[in-house]
Chains A and B, each alone.
Chain A
């Protein structure tokens, strides 16, 4: 099968998948991408085995500091045109299947003019006007643009969804975010966690220059950007209390300063939500290690040291990081929201507490830190959950079968 993957970034959701399809099935996988990603970064193997074509970066339609919602549809159509031009200029790119991603609509709208093959849409998420995603943290006003923004960003998503031949979401909760009329068009296939990379095991007891003494408890928090939708502020509140109770805990925080979702900048008036959070309380920063954004191998080492991994997302697309942590056998304390409940069964393969209940989050965290060995079975079970349901080993075959099925569809 000849597949063309379309995604702004590489490798993102498709790089590893394509590498596996190439290795296991001998498929030919090409990519149209705008840029190489830094989180995670492409591996040399991917760059060698996969054919990458670069699409020029679409012009940014952001209007200064404001929310770009009125420009989103125009930006999407520009992307559609860039992708169309890129394929027209490459007559050798005539795939049997297109698999396209777009957080704000996959830019495939004009491809029907050039390609006969079926198009699969990666259905990542459909934004809501309230009660989830970027509209959830009403405790951090202003959420004033919240009702408008989701409506605008969903326009390209709907256009893509109507146009595509089939779609898939990574989790059931993500699929359910879409209007019910489209559910019959969307299958659920998780991308797959690399369990060779993310697995339990020994790790050096040091982070950067800093060594972690035997016996010191390690609490981890991971998010691409340290922002409110992923509960960074709530984590810091709980961490502050934990630090006051136990002197033997160090908090390792992985993630960049940038804000990917929501209105944090409007609320704080500052570009970094992290800096704003740190100003809200006199944190003992000697107890925190902020490592910024790191390579996957480094993340594994950190997760292997973790006695407790805290994951406090609002109801939103489940982060790979929580699944990476589970794959490493971490005891995860997650927020009680539907996407987290889809993977964590509290008391079996992890722990769950209400997102905003810092008291309960703190108490539960302290119970784990009091006796990590007693909670270790949760981590073992988490590791098994990933192996059985979310690993590349388990996820790739049905995804490949799904792609073959759609590629065979007559248009």
Chain B
């Protein structure tokens, strides 16, 4: 933990973090002085898609229409890097494309790695690197859309039969919550941050991260019978609406900020409320 961040915590009236897992990353001495509240995603814009609501209907992505028989597998990240598990997605896509001629895999995100801490691939084209080692089984059925507009992301997620979030432990991606809000069946790595959001087999599917075979088995099962898994996506959309939408999050956040300001920065009553109330999980780092 960097000293500068500790200094911030020391001088702040209150720490604010979106998830319990993120709170658990801070030193134990500071964890009690946190408000845990996600800022929410815009569910007026990111809505349950007709494809997921009805299990049928027209689909198109970036001007190209997708047949009803096509099984669409999606991955979304700001950049296609290791932290968000793009390597795992690519390996999975390869298995799925080989297994079924009706599978289309789509990745949205910058191919150039922007994360400075990924010292190996920073500023490099990570997908190109991976595909130079292991060429794709069928480039026609692996779409790399690059950085895309919110509109295209919404189309991708709205058409998805399986959304894959195979990242390493890191704060839950906004795109994962958006996928859930769109009604996607999400297959995520079984990390603490994902566990906090997704209840396995109720609001999504969790797979032990490094076990590529297990992930492929789960993915094939979903693609074999999308209708059977559709309720997971619907439940995910309901969950996001209730707990991770701006409608749910922003009023609570505003209320907490107002309470703190009204108390002249005295966080004690607010913290007491936090600790008695909503906190259902307490995921400190398991060291």
**Chain A residues in contact with chain B, CB under 8 A?**
73, 76, 105, 151-152, 154-159, 162-163, 179, 181-182, 185
Contacts and interface: CB of A to CB of B under 8 A. Distances in A.
Contacts of B1: 159, 162-163
Contact of A76 (B3, B11, B30): B3
B27 A162 contact: yes
B283 to A, nearest CB: 19
23 contacts: A73-B3, A73-B4, A76-B3, A105-B3, A154-B7, A154-B10, A155-B4, A155-B6, A155-B7, A157-B3, A158-B6, A158-B7, A159-B2, A159-B3, A159-B6, A162-B1, A162-B6, A162-B27, A162-B29, A179-B10, A179-B29, A181-B29, A185-B29
A185 to B, nearest CB: 8
Contacts of B4: 73, 155
Given A157-B3, A158-B6, A181-B30, 6 more contacts: A151-B11, A154-B10, A158-B3, A162-B1, A162-B6, A162-B27
Interface in B1-46: 1-4, 6-7, 10-11, 27, 29-30
B176 to A, nearest CB: 30
B153 to A, nearest CB: 39
B3 A156 contact: yes
A105 B6 CA distance: 13
Interface in B215-249: none
Contact of B29 (A156, A157, A159, A182): A182
Contacts of B11: 151
B273 to A, nearest CB: 20
A209 to B, nearest CB: 51
Nearest to A154: B7
Interface of B: 1-4, 6-7, 10-11, 27, 29-30
Nearest to B6: A158
A275 to B, nearest CB: 36
B279 to A, nearest CB: 19
A185 B29 CA distance: 10
B138 to A, nearest CB: 45
Q: Looking at B3, B11, B29, which has the most chain A CB atoms within 10 Å of its CB?
A: B3
Closest 10 CB pairs of A and B: A159-B3, A155-B3, A158-B6, A181-B29, A162-B27, A155-B7, A156-B3, A158-B3, A155-B4, A162-B1
A77 B192 CA distance: 31
A181 B15 CA distance: 15
Contacts of A157: 3
A157 B4 CA distance: 10
A118 B247 CA distance: 48
A73 B11 CA distance: 17
Contacts of B30: 181
Contacts of A159: 1-3, 6
Contacts of A158: 3, 6-7, 10
A162 B26 CA distance: 10
A105 B7 CA distance: 13
A105 B4 CA distance: 13
A182 B10 CA distance: 11
Which residue among B1, B29, B30 has the maximum number of chain A CB atoms within 10 Å of its CB? B29
Contacts of A162: 1, 6, 27, 29
Contacts of B2: 159
A42 to B, nearest CB: 31
Contacts of A185: 29
A151 B7 contact: yes
A76 B4 CA distance: 12
A158 B3 CA distance: 6
A190 B30 CA distance: 28
B145 to A, nearest CB: 41
A255 B27 CA distance: 42
Contacts of B27: 162
B39 to A, nearest CB: 26
A151 B10 CA distance: 9
Contacts of A76: 3
Contacts of B10: 154, 158, 179
Nearest to B33: A181
Nearest to A159: B3
Nearest to B27: A162
A155 B7 CA distance: 5
Contacts of A154: 7, 10
